[in-house]
Every structure is written in structure tokens, then in C-alpha cells.
Chains A and B, each alone.
Chain A
Amino acid sequence: MKTKFLSFIIYTLGFFCGIIFIIVNVKPLGSVARSLIIPRNYGDLYYQHYIDKYKTVLDRKIPFSVSELNTPLKKAGIILYGDSFSNLRYFKGIPELLIDSMKVDLHFAHTRRIFQGPVFPYLAKSDYQKDSIPKFLIFQSAERVIDLRLRDNPAKLVQAGTPNPIKTFLKSILARDAKRKYTFLLKDTKLTRPFYSFLMNKRYDWFGYVDSPKVYDEKTGMFFNDKSTSNTKAGFYYQFSDEEIELYCNHLEIFKNELKSLYNLDFVFFPVPNKISIYSHILNNDEYNNLLPRLYECMEAKSVDFVDIYNPIKAQKELMYFKTDTHWNEKGAQLSHNLLMKKIREIQARTNSKN
């Protein structure tokens, strides 16, 4: 009797785990995995701990990249290449604000989408042609991914080699982000989220545990990524060397020159500070690596157009970022947009005066 019951448990559990194993690890079944996941409507850092007390309801609309407002590349009057800071639509975001201010069609390319790739291959693949009228290409990048975006020489990325057919086949079959999908399935399906959330809330109520590698400030209720997860180049605390800053700066200069000569595009670099870079004082943290101010200095020397958001946002008394999300709030986005517009007008005035 006991053995029969145990056999039933083993085979049933094995069956369900097997299905999960397959849908997570076989890439073409990725949509099945995604369909099981219920939406995440609270701040992204909330999903590191699931504690009800720290929920911030964010009314997420369709991301700009897939909205009807996103104009095809060839028809667009302005190109915005960016990440979630531009694509999250909790409110009127940078792309929409730019459309309103400049009264032009805008094409937004999301840097996270693998098929879009880095800027030059993306333009080449899309058969983008040089226009006689100069246009703007705004390159928005979160500070935490600057290394990822700028470590390679952008011009060299134009010529991609012939892909290895075996690698291409394996890539098309095997999912690469199994761990992430498992995490989603454990925490964010209709069946599992209530259990997981219950467990996390009880651990918090009984022992005070905030179960994530992130840190939070009890006084303000603000969450941040902490040192243990972020002491990498993609993190918040990495101490960049002068050589690294110089390398990024050189690559930005290549961006500027090559985009102008190949496509007649005016390049504007629009780096968005990390939340921790602005509010490190809340955690009594004085270890900010000063990446942006150092990069600004270097870009100025090389005449690369950029938008300094760090200093104006740092000077604000009002909160410019969400408390339980890594992104800026509406005020932060509005301020950044104003600064970006100021830079664009400055460049336009400079170009006009030359002509």
C-alpha cells in the first residue's frame, strides 16, 4: 500500500517536473512558459522579496517598443535606442514625451531584444539608408549596463561573421535562461505566487526577513540592489579604472563619427544614473564609483554630445525614482526629457549656425 502510494507520488511529481523541465529548457516552448506567468504590476524590486507591505502598484501599459506609436525605422524622424527606462510605460515615457515635444515620428529600438542587437548591426540589418537631412540617434543606456553597451568597438560589430550552423541550431533549440524561467515559474504563476508570497510574508512577519540579496532602508521604504550582487561591471559598486572610462569614451567617439559619416545621424548619449548612484546617502554608502561624472568629463573632451542627468537629478529634493523599483518615476522621466530636449536644441542651434 505504502509502496503503491509512493509510486503514485514519484510518477505524478516526476510527470509535472518533467513537463516543467521541457518547457523551460526547450526554446521553442518558451511561449508556453511565458503564458503561465502572471503579470508583474508592482515595482521590479518588489519581486525580489514579495512582501505586501512594500507593494507599489504601477499601472503598466503596453511597452512602447510594441505599441502602435512605435514608427518603423525608415519612416522615423528620430531614433531612440534604449532600454527599460524608455520602454516602461507606467506613465508618459521618454519616447512619447519626445514625440510631443518634437512633433516627429519616433522609432524606438530596445537594446534587450537580442534580434535587434547593437546599434550598427541593427541599422545594417534594417537596411537603413543615409538621409540628406540629419536626424538624431539618441542612445539611452542605464548606468548599470554601460559596460555591456560600450565595451566593444561599435564599428567592428557591423561585420558579423558567418554563424556556425551547429551553434545556431543549438541556440534555436536550447533555452539559455533556464534559471530565470524556473524562478518565474516558482514565484509567478497563478498556482505558486500565493504560496510564495505567503511564505515570504510570514518569514518577514515572524523573523523580519526580507528574503532577497537586495537591501532596503526601513525609514524610507526604499529598496536597492546591494553590494553582494552588484560588485561587477554591470553592478553599482564596481570601481572603474581610468583605462576603462577611456575605452568607453573612445567607443562613444566612434559612435559619433561613424553614425555621422555612414548614416548622417547626430549621436546623443543619454545615460541614466542608477538609483543607488543618486540615493547612496540613504544607505550611508560613500562608495559610488563616480562612473558618470568621469565619463562626462571624458565625453566633453572628445566633443561627444551627452545629457548630464546625474547632477540635476542628484540636486532634486523630490524623489525621482520609485521606492520599490529601479526605474525613475514620472518626475524623473519628465526632468530627464527636459534635459534631453535642451541638448537637442543646443545641437540644432549649433548645426544651424554652422550652415
Chain B
Amino acid sequence: MLFNSIEFLVFFPTVIAVYFAMPQRFRWILLLIASYFFYMSWNPSYIVLIMVSTVVDYSCAIGIENQKNKKVKLALLYLSLFVNLGFLVFFKYFNFLGDAFNSLFEPLGIFPQIPGHNILLPVGISFYTFQTLSYTIDVYKGKLKAERHLGYFALYVSFFPQLVAGPIERASRLLPQFYEKFEIEYERIKKGLLMVLWGFLLKLTIADRLSEYVDSVFNEPNIHNGLQKLTAAYFFIFQVYGDFAGYSYIAIGIALIMGYELMDNFKRPYLSVSFQEFWNRWHISLSTWILDYVYTPIVLSKRHWGIYGIAFALLVTFVLNGLWHGANWNFIVFGFILGIYIGAEFLLKKQRKKLKKKIGKGKFRFFGWIATMCLWIFACIFFRINSLGEVWSFLGGILDFSSYSTTNLNLFKFPIDFVISLILIHLIWGLEFFQEKNNLLGKFKKQPSIIKWTLVIFLLLFVIFIGKYNSSAFIYFQF
């Protein structure tokens, strides 16, 4: 069930009304049923995976907490990792690893032929797997008490607002909230609804509009000229932002309406002046997860390598980050490129400081922002391209300035969409800039109610009249 579907528009108000009408002690039952229904509307049979993950992690965590024998604790942790990562590897990476293994031996004239499978990838598996993994690891490290209530734990694994595309929540934040009683509270619900509206604005007016252009170029790169390719690459960074940030805002908003606070997932990433800053603002729940459970352990284990240990950890971390997105070489290269960016930033720290002193903070930040955006566009080509084999001709096309032509630059079915797209993406960028600089939202809150409501109604009508209604799935669902 997509947030931008009619089913959800009926499903959510129904759940909310029953939720607030229910006594607190029974609400978990409603939310669990709603979450399972939400997931099963996509594919009923895959709910079994979530149930198995839930039972295994619930049992393992209690076992880890109760056990005094370190070896048994470790064995239980491994059992949990094996089950969760086993599902992930089998459904998401098995074919990719099999192909890689087969092709590894091909030059030697050996053809092992590991067979692949055609089983559908369970939606959101990367998200809920990471969420459950962090829980068991935290219990093992003693950072978290094991949850004794199976119902609450099952809800933590499957909570429908963030089940299929995050934010990847931590048990220490989310689980205690399930014990709290939330009433209908005007200010909180208003804030939640505004976040939902903003999410729909990003998804329906920007992401779904740009997808038409981006898809037409990336799906048939050979028939498009350099300028069209460049425009598609430029549009894609806003499509992916509108899509994923849009989803995150809707998820956070609908959870907030019920009273639950989910972590921020995006903080105006396209204003970043460096890649280090970018990753503190983009897909924050994944970045912090990887920082805590991958990067830090590698840095600690390689601390004797000094600065190169950190660069190595960054590279490994980002390759894994890329691989998390999908079982394909282009995602690995995408991660590798990001690792190079951040690793280079880290190794050139002193030189960057000198440059900052030399040209001044303002110029340094401006050029840093330009460079970050250009490099992000470059990396995102690897993210979006259908296969790695196409990337060189795609990049070659962009660099072939002689092919540039403004004829047929507008590939939209409705020509006005080109202008609307350009205005919207730069308007959102500008709004984010002023929010960052002048706290636009804070100023908005101080306005008289009539102005605030007029603007909200305008935004709502804007989404209704300008939005695209093709109910396209969110990009991050595939991960």
C-alpha cells in the first residue's frame, strides 16, 4: 500500500479514529494488525519473514540478557545475525553473488553455474532487517534492555509508517514510545499533518513529475543527446530527493499524528558544502546506523593504521552503503565513489583549511557547495543507470558538447511540466536556503492564523492541482 494511494487515504483515517478511541493498553494490537495489513496488501506471504525475524530477535535478545555465559551470548547474537542477514542475502544478494562467483571463474575456463532464483524481493527488507539487527546488537552490547512484551517488539519491527522505507529507527527511541499514551493534541497533529502535506508536495509535484523525464532518458540513453542526458542527471538528484525525503516526511508526519516521534531523515542535504556534511543531512537514519555498526568498529580495529585506517573505514563503509541500496555493480561503484569523495575530503583536511583561509569562508563555502552538488550529480548517474555497461556512453554523451541541442529538450508529455519542474525544484531549494539562514518556518509560525491557513490551503490546492496522480511507487521501496 503506497502512501500516495486511495487505499491509504481510506486506511489511515480509519486506523487513526480507532486508535484514539481505544484504551492505551490495547493500541498495540490495533497498530500491529494495521501494520501487518499494510504490509500484506503488497504481498501477503512475505509477512512470514517479518514474523520469523520478530520471533528470532525477540527470543535471542531475551536469551542474551538472561545468559551469563559469554559464548552462549555470542552464539545467540550470531543466530540473530544469521537469520536476519540470511533472509537479506537470500532475497536480495543471492543472484548477484551467484553471478559474481560464476563470472569469477570464467577466465579460468571453469563454469560453476550457481543457479539464480526468480523470487520477488520483499519490499522494505533492508530497512526492517537493519532495524532488528541494531536491536540485537545493542542488547548484546548491554546498551539496551531486551523487550519482554512480544507485541510491542513485533510492533517495533513492523510499525507501518516506517516499515518499508524507514527512517531506520532504534529500539531505544521507538520502543519506549509504544508504552506512552497519546491523546488528540491539536499542535502535535497539526505539525504532523503539515509534514505529511510537505511530503506529498515533494513526492507528487516534484519527484513524480521529474520521473517522467528521467525515466525516458535513462531507460533509452542511446536515443537522447548530451543536453537531455545532463538535464536528466540534474533532474534525477531532485527526483530522488523529492521521492525519499517526501516519503520520510509523510512517514514522520503520520507517526507524529499518532504521537510517535521518528528520527529526522533529511536536513536540507542540497545545501551541504562538503560530503561529510552531506552525509550528516542525507538519509540520516542509515548514515548513523552505518556509523555505529560498521564504521566505528572498523576504525577501532584499524586504529594502528592511523589516518589511513580512517580512510579505509570510510571506503569500506560507503561501498557497503552502496551495496545496501541494491545488488548491482552500479550501486557498488556508487558507494565506492562516495567513499572516495569522503576519504579524499578527510585526507585533504589540512589543504582545505588552508584554502579556506586563503579565499575566505564565504567563497570557500560557495565553491564547496557547487563542487558537492556536481559530484553528487556524477555519483547519482551510477545510482540511476540501469546497468554499469551503459554508464560510459551516458557520461560520454554528456561530455559530447557537439551533440547538445535545445530541440526536443523538453521531453515531458505536457510541455508545461518542464517549466513547472524548473520553477519548483529551484523554489524548494531557495526555501530550504532561507529556512537554513533565516528560520523561515519560525517566522511563518509567528504570522497571524489567517495568513498561515491561507498558505496551508494554497499548498494543499497546489498539490491537488499540480500533483501527478499516477501512484508511482517510492524509489526506496526497492531497497
Given A3-B185, A6-B184, A209-B414, answer yes or no on A14-B464 (Cβ-Cβ < 8 Å).
no
A7-21 contacts to B, CB under 8 A, are 7, 10-11, 13-15, 17-18, 20-21
Find out whether the CB atom of B414 lies under 8 angstroms from the CB atom of A208: yes
Check B18 for interface membership: any CB of A closer than 8 A.
Answer: yes
A234-292 contacts to B, CB under 8 A, are none
Q: Which of A182, A203, A208 contacts B7 (CB 8 A)?
A: A182
Find out whether the CB atom of A15 lies under 8 angstroms from the CB atom of B17: yes
Minimal Cβ-Cβ distance residue in A for B13: A17
B423-479 contacts to A, CB under 8 A, are 464-466, 469-470
Check B359 for interface membership: any CB of A closer than 8 A.
Answer: no
How far apart are the CA atoms of A218 and B414 in the complex, in Å?
Answer: 12
Q: Which of B7, B20, B420, B469 contacts A211 (CB 8 A)?
A: B469
A4 to chain B minimum Cβ distance, whole angstroms, is 9
Minimal Cβ-Cβ distance residue in B for A170: B44
Residues of A contacting B: mostly: helix
Total inter-chain residue pairs, C-beta < 8 Å: 66
Check B108 for interface membership: any CB of A closer than 8 A.
Answer: no
Find out whether the CB atom of B17 lies under 8 angstroms from the CB atom of A14: yes
| B416 cross-chain contacts in A, Cβ below 8 A | 207-208
Hey, what's the 0/1 contact readout for A193-210 against B, CB within 8 Å counting as 1? 000000100110011110
Given A3-B184, A203-B465, A208-B414, answer yes or no on A10-B20 (Cβ-Cβ < 8 Å).
yes
How far apart are the CA atoms of A18 and B466 in the complex, in Å?
Answer: 29
Find out whether the CB atom of A14 lies under 8 angstroms from the CB atom of B14: yes
Hey, what's the 0/1 contact readout for B12-36 against A, CB within 8 Å counting as 1? 1110111011000000000000000
Find out whether the CB atom of A21 lies under 8 angstroms from the CB atom of B14: yes
How far apart are the CA atoms of A206 and B186 in the complex, in Å?
Answer: 36
Most chain-A CB neighbours within 10 Å: which of B14, B185, B186?
Answer: B14
| B16 cross-chain contacts in A, Cβ below 8 A | 10, 14
Check B189 for interface membership: any CB of A closer than 8 A.
Answer: yes
Minimal Cβ-Cβ distance residue in B for A15: B17
Check A2 for interface membership: any CB of B closer than 8 A.
Answer: yes
Find out whether the CB atom of A14 lies under 8 angstroms from the CB atom of B6: no
Find out whether the CB atom of B13 lies under 8 angstroms from the CB atom of A6: no
B127 to chain A minimum Cβ distance, whole angstroms, is 24
Check A99 for interface membership: any CB of B closer than 8 A.
Answer: no
**Which size bracket describes the interface of A in this complex?**
20 to 34
Find out whether the CB atom of B10 lies under 8 angstroms from the CB atom of A14: no
Given A10-B184, A14-B18, answer yes or no on A207-B414 (Cβ-Cβ < 8 Å).
yes
Find out whether the CB atom of B18 lies under 8 angstroms from the CB atom of A182: no
How far apart are the CA atoms of A207 and B12 in the complex, in Å?
Answer: 31
| A6 cross-chain contacts in B, Cβ below 8 A | 184, 186, 189
B1-60 contacts to A, CB under 8 A, are 5-7, 9-14, 16-18, 20-21
Check A179 for interface membership: any CB of B closer than 8 A.
Answer: yes
Check A191 for interface membership: any CB of B closer than 8 A.
Answer: no
| A3 cross-chain contacts in B, Cβ below 8 A | 184-186
Check A213 for interface membership: any CB of B closer than 8 A.
Answer: yes
Find out whether the CB atom of A21 lies under 8 angstroms from the CB atom of B186: no
How far apart are the CA atoms of A203 and B204 in the complex, in Å?
Answer: 14
Check A24 for interface membership: any CB of B closer than 8 A.
Answer: yes
Check A178 for interface membership: any CB of B closer than 8 A.
Answer: yes
A280 to chain B minimum Cβ distance, whole angstroms, is 18
B263 to chain A minimum Cβ distance, whole angstroms, is 25
Q: Which of A20, A209, A215 contacts B10 (CB 8 A)?
A: A20
B182-197 contacts to A, CB under 8 A, are 184-186, 189
Q: Which of B6, B12, B14, B18 contacts A183 (CB 8 A)?
A: B6
A128 to chain B minimum Cβ distance, whole angstroms, is 36
Minimal Cβ-Cβ distance residue in B for A209: B414
Q: Which of B9, B10, B184, B470 contacts A24 (CB 8 A)?
A: B10
How far apart are the CA atoms of A213 and B212 in the complex, in Å?
Answer: 12
Q: Which of B9, B14, B465 contacts A18 (CB 8 A)?
A: B14
How far apart are the CA atoms of A11 and B13 in the complex, in Å?
Answer: 8
Check A186 for interface membership: any CB of B closer than 8 A.
Answer: yes
Minimal Cβ-Cβ distance residue in A for B469: A211
Find out whether the CB atom of B6 lies under 8 angstroms from the CB atom of A179: yes
| B186 cross-chain contacts in A, Cβ below 8 A | 2-3, 6
Find out whether the CB atom of B17 lies under 8 angstroms from the CB atom of A206: no
Q: Which of B5, B10, B20, B184 contacts A21 (CB 8 A)?
A: B10
| A186 cross-chain contacts in B, Cβ below 8 A | 6
Most chain-A CB neighbours within 10 Å: which of B10, B12, B184, B470?
Answer: B10
B305 to chain A minimum Cβ distance, whole angstroms, is 51
| B14 cross-chain contacts in A, Cβ below 8 A | 14, 17-18, 21
How far apart are the CA atoms of A10 and B17 in the complex, in Å?
Answer: 6
Given A3-B186, A11-B21, answer yes or no on A17-B10 (Cβ-Cβ < 8 Å).
yes
How far apart are the CA atoms of A224 and B416 in the complex, in Å?
Answer: 22
| A213 cross-chain contacts in B, Cβ below 8 A | 470
A273 to chain B minimum Cβ distance, whole angstroms, is 26
How far apart are the CA atoms of A199 and B189 in the complex, in Å?
Answer: 27
Q: Which of A7, A199, A202 contacts B184 (CB 8 A)?
A: A7
B11 to chain A minimum Cβ distance, whole angstroms, is 7
| A211 cross-chain contacts in B, Cβ below 8 A | 469
Hey, what's the 0/1 contact readout for A1-44 against B, CB within 8 Å counting as 1? 01100110011011101101100100000000000000000000
| A208 cross-chain contacts in B, Cβ below 8 A | 414-416
Minimal Cβ-Cβ distance residue in A for B215: A228
| B10 cross-chain contacts in A, Cβ below 8 A | 17, 20-21, 24, 182
A14 to chain B minimum Cβ distance, whole angstroms, is 2
Question: What are 27 pairs between A and B in contact, CB < 8 Å?
Answer: A3-B184, A6-B184, A6-B186, A7-B20, A7-B184, A10-B13, A11-B17, A11-B20, A14-B13, A14-B14, A14-B16, A14-B18, A17-B9, A17-B12, A17-B13, A18-B14, A18-B18, A21-B14, A24-B10, A179-B7, A182-B7, A207-B414, A207-B416, A207-B466, A208-B414, A211-B469, A215-B413
Extra 19 A-B pairs, beta carbons < 8 Å, given A17-B14, A182-B10: A6-B189, A7-B184, A10-B13, A10-B20, A11-B21, A13-B13, A15-B17, A18-B18, A24-B10, A179-B5, A179-B6, A182-B6, A202-B465, A203-B465, A206-B465, A207-B414, A207-B466, A209-B414, A211-B469
Residues of B within 8 A of A (CB): 5-7, 9-14, 16-18, 20-21, 184-186, 189, 413-416, 420, 464-466, 469-470
6 tightest A-B contacts by CB?
Answer: A14-B17, A17-B13, A182-B6, A2-B186, A18-B14, A17-B14
